[in-house]
Amino acid sequence: MPEYKAPLKDIEFVMNDVLNFEQHYANLPGGEEATPDLVNAILVEAAKFSEEILSPINQIGDQQGCTRHEDGSVTTPDGFKEAYQQYVEGGWPSLAHDVEFGGQGLPESLGSVISEMVGAANWSWGMYPGLSHGCMNTLSSHGTQEQKQAYLPKLISGEWTGTMCLTEPHAGTDLGLLRTKAEPNNDGSYNISGTKIFISSGEHDMSDNIVHIVLARLPGAPKGTKGISLFIVPKFNIDAQGNVGDRNAVTCGSLEHKMGIHGNSTCVMNFDGAKGFLIGTENRGLNCMFTFMNTARIGTAIQGLTAAESSFQGALAYAKDRLQMRSLSGVKQPDSVADPIIVHPDVRRMLLTQKAFAEGNRALLYFGAQQNDIAHMSDNVEERKQAEDLLSFLTPIMKAFMTETGFESANHGVQVFGGHGFIAEWGMEQIVRDTRIAMLYEGTTGIQALDLLGRKVLMSQGELLKNFTKIVHQFVKGQADNSAMQEFTKPLADLNKEWGELTMEVGMKAMQNQDEVGAASVDYLMYSGYVTLAYFWAKMADVAQRKLTEGEGNAAFYQAKIETARFYFARILPRTLSHAAMVKAGNSTLAAIDEAHFSF
């Protein structure tokens, strides 16, 4: 099993050198407490917890899985509960939450960095506290003061955990089809009845209570998504003082038998007249739930990053150690029976692809996390709006592109190992299995692509796209006199221009046939992802070049950044050519075959 080591040098490079988190935190109201010394101490401790506590039980979780008992209770794998208690005792759940309810009030972006380390060490375990953050954000944004007082202190402390209950057996992405009912009671509560499936962390033994956030329909509600309301449904009812009381009528009917993430309890949850409480206004539940879903989409993007990082670490160590054949350009280790496989060009291609995606996606994620900070903490209305728009545009790219490239990276890790990669003891195939879900939950790649092209770009008449392409344009313009950067800025400028032209072409076609949006969307999203990452790699190359010129820091580290940027631009960025061609191909080749001809 790969032994995870937190890439603190790379994390600090993005935070400090590329995105200037120190200044970012200093400019945030309330963010000034996130001083460099405090941030560094938090990163070091999070790395230690991830490496020493979570990583060793990652494979155990995969092998053992969770166990459901006859009474519906669920036991997590060995070490999971104990690790969670250490997590709570360390104050980690409260890091980026409201001081009023017991949180530490630090910026959410710092929590995202911690989530990367936790997830790379043990994704299945990290999902338990991960879902709680979305639950807390939903209650903070839409709950009444009484609801916040009742639930947030225990959720923030980590004594309780949270879930998101959307999907039903017949209704996945199309939530307008859901059937779960909410019948009003005389005391202001509701009886919630229905079945939800694929509920991550739905039942477990790690916390004293589980707070389910549930979508359901009120009597007489409009059909479709306009008739959905949102409810708090705790596993155990609580009294007026917030203490746990009797068991609510919500149980785990079964555990899903899954391809991966075995250490997380993915449940079928049965609500049999369970007591629930309305969040927000009637029939506006989906609007409230988007707070949870957007938190979860960014959390899922992190999984793509963690897959690339953890698989790269495992593959790199193996490639340096495994002896196979001789280098075609001449013997590299004459004292050995063969050369290590890292000398072979194709192995280097795979390793560099993993490295380019891990480090590039980290920069993209942290930039998105900065926008999230500004959107929630800035006291400048204009700054908040700009950050909200940028985050709205980038979220589907982060979720879909980062998970697609993370899965690709995980597969490269298996390939580097050869036959050993297919064997469970090495742990590389677990990363593939665990990561495959990332392209499915919180909206598939196709759904994210429709959101990006249809809702975010075309429905805004391209304005949300322009917000980001302007950033790219200003960066390129600022490098006009820097000859060392032209190998990056010239292709970046050309693609930035083509991005707008592709958008216009799809938009014109969609005016005649809206299916053109669906036909182009996934390729458009992947094109967007590759261009977006090109911007961040160019930005990292610029910083690295300046550090080398100034003679600062580790020269080999900065030179590696430049060389990886060159690899990305030469060997990965050309994928935009095929995606652009497929975007332009349109819907005709998809629609030409009659449904009857899809036969076997």
Can you list the positions of beta strands (E) in 141-261?
160-165, 181-184, 190-200, 209-216, 229-234, 236-238, 244-247, 250-255
pLDDT recorded at residue 600? 74
pLDDT recorded at residue 174? 83
Fold of 289-450: Butyryl-CoA Dehydrogenase, subunit A; domain 3 (1.20.140)
pLDDT recorded at residue 595? 84
pLDDT recorded at residue 347? 98
Residue 212 forms beta bridges with which residues? 163, 233
Which residues are CB-contacts of 546 (< 8 A; sequence separation ≥ 6)?
none
DSSP per residue, 179-214: --EEEE-TTS-EEEEEEEEEEET-S-SSSSEEEEEE
What span, in angstroms and rounded, lies between the C-alpha atoms of 233 and 191? 9
pLDDT recorded at residue 286? 85
What span, in angstroms and rounded, lies between the C-alpha atoms of 177 and 180? 10
Burial 455-478 (b: 16+ CB within 10 A, else e): ebbbeeebebbbbbbeebeebbee
Please say whether the beta carbons of 212 and 200 come within 8 A: no
Q: Which residues of the chain have pLDDT under 70?
A: none
What span, in angstroms and rounded, lies between the C-alpha atoms of 175 and 547? 50
Please say whether the beta carbons of 373 and 108 come within 8 A: yes
**Residue 208 tokens, joined:** 């004293």
DSSP per residue, 416-472: HHGGGGGSGGGSHHHHHHHHHGGGTTTS-HHHHHHIIIIIIIITTTTHHHHHHHHHH
What span, in angstroms and rounded, lies between the C-alpha atoms of 324 and 326? 7
Helix 108-121 and helix 123-142, axial crossing angle in degrees, nearest 10: 160
User: What is the radius of gyration, based on Cα positions, of the chain?
Assistant: 24
Between CA 300 and CA 403, with CA 11 as vertex, the angle to 5 degrees is 25
Domain extents in the chain: 289-450, 461-587
Three-state DSSP class for residue 69 = coil
What is the model's pTM? Answer: 0.97
What span, in angstroms and rounded, lies between the C-alpha atoms of 561 and 365? 18
What span, in angstroms and rounded, lies between the C-alpha atoms of 470 and 452? 18
Which of 168, 309, 442, 516 does the annotation list as catalytic? 442
Report how far apart, in Å, the C-alpha atoms of 594 and of each of 39, 530, 582, 588, 599 are.
Answer: 59, 34, 21, 12, 10
**Residue 116 tokens, joined:** 């990367």
Catalytic residue list contains 442? yes
Three-state DSSP class for residue 12 = helix
Report how far apart, in Å, the C-alpha atoms of 462 and of each of 54, 375, 384, 414 are.
Answer: 43, 21, 20, 40
Residue 270 forms beta bridges with which residues? 195, 251
Which residues are CB-contacts of 69 (< 8 A; sequence separation ≥ 6)?
75
Residue 277 forms beta bridges with which residues? 232
Q: 558-562, long-range: CB within 8 Å, 24+ apart, which pairs?
A: 561/13, 561/359
Beta 190-200 vs 236-238: how paired, if at all?
unpaired
Q: How far separated are the first and last CA of the chain, in Å rounded?
A: 42
What span, in angstroms and rounded, lies between the C-alpha atoms of 373 and 24? 9
**Residue 569 tokens, joined:** 């631009």
- Tracing tokens 């992190």 back to the chain, one arrives at 302
What span, in angstroms and rounded, lies between the C-alpha atoms of 407 and 445? 12
